Amino acid sequence: MFEQVITSFCKNNEYCKKKKVKISETQTKAIFLLLDSDDSGELEQEEIIDVLCDRQALGQNKEAKAKDDAKLLV
């Protein structure tokens, strides 16, 4: 199913169509393994959300992240 989602995305996304982006089976498997943090062979909602939150944190500087983390402790 994950491969179908990736294939469908590439076929329907305007950027992918314009740039003729292709994602190989090997790349698809690598993405899946990256997302499947508990190695269950299935993607849970929390795993995807965790990756998105981590990605968002990469865009923040350390000071801003520290402030956000401190707010959670209060």
pLDDT attached to residue 12? 94
Q: Give me the domain span that covers residue 11.
A: 2-73
Structural domains in the chain (count): 1
Tokens of 70: 């401190």
pLDDT attached to residue 27? 94
Tokens of 50: 């965790």
pLDDT attached to residue 59? 62
pLDDT attached to residue 51? 80
20: left (phi over 0), alpha (psi -120 to 50) or beta: left
Cα 26-28-13 angle, rounded to 5 deg: 130
The residue with tokens 């469908």 is 8
pLDDT attached to residue 56? 65
pLDDT attached to residue 1? 86
pLDDT attached to residue 24? 93
Which residue stretches of the chain have pLDDT < 70?
55-62, 74
- pTM of the predicted structure, to 2 decimals: 0.62
